[in-house]
Amino acid sequence: MSTSVGRARATPDWLALREPADAAARSTGLVHQLARGLSPSGTLTVHDLGCGTGAMLRWLAPRLPGPQHWVLCDRDADLLGVAATRPLPRAADGSAVTMETRRVDVTRMSARQLATGGLVTASALLDVLTTTELERLVDSCVHAGCPVLLNLTVTGRVRLDPPDRWDQPISEAFNAHQQRPVGGHRLLGPGAVRRTIEAFTARGAEVTAAASPWRLGHENAALTAAWFDGWLAAALEQRPELAGPTLDYVRRRRGQAAAGRLTATVDHRDLLARPDVEPAGARSR
DSSP 92-126: TTS--EEEEEEE--GGG--HHHHTT-SEEEEES-G
Q: Which residues pair with 51 in a beta bridge?
A: none
Mean pLDDT of 24-32: 97
Number of neighbouring beta carbons within 10 Å of residue 168 = 11
Nearest residue to 119 via CA among 151, 88, 75: 151
Nearest residue to 143 via CA among 203, 66, 73: 203
37-68 confidence digits (pLDDT tens): 887 678 999 999 999 999 999 999 999 999 99
Dist. CA 206–CA 254, nearest whole Å? 43
Contact by Cβ (8 Å): 188, 181? no
Dist. CA 94–CA 131, nearest whole Å? 40
Dist. CA 45–CA 48, nearest whole Å? 10
Instruction: Domain 12-158+182-218+266-276: state its class.
Output: alpha beta
Question: pTM here?
Answer: 0.92
Contact by Cβ (8 Å): 57, 28? no
Write down the pLDDT at residue 94.
Answer: 97
Q: Say yes or no to pLDDT of 281 above 70.
A: no
Q: Say yes or no to pLDDT of 257 above 70.
A: yes
Write down the pLDDT at residue 264.
Answer: 97
Nearest residue to 87 via CA among 101, 78, 76, 98: 98
Number of neighbouring beta carbons within 10 Å of residue 241 = 9
Q: Say yes or no to pLDDT of 283 above 60.
A: no
Average of per-residue pLDDT values in the chain: 92
Write down the pLDDT at residue 9.
Answer: 72
Write down the pLDDT at residue 176.
Answer: 97
Q: Say yes or no to pLDDT of 278 above 50.
A: no
> Nearest 5°: CA angle at 103, between 83 and 97?
40
> Nearest 5°: CA angle at 10, between 216 and 194?
70
Mean pLDDT of 139-162: 96
Contact by Cβ (8 Å): 73, 48? yes
Dist. CA 124–CA 213, nearest whole Å? 12
Dist. CA 107–CA 126, nearest whole Å? 10
Number of neighbouring beta carbons within 10 Å of residue 187 = 22
Residue 8 binned pLDDT confidence (cut-offs 50, 70, 90): low
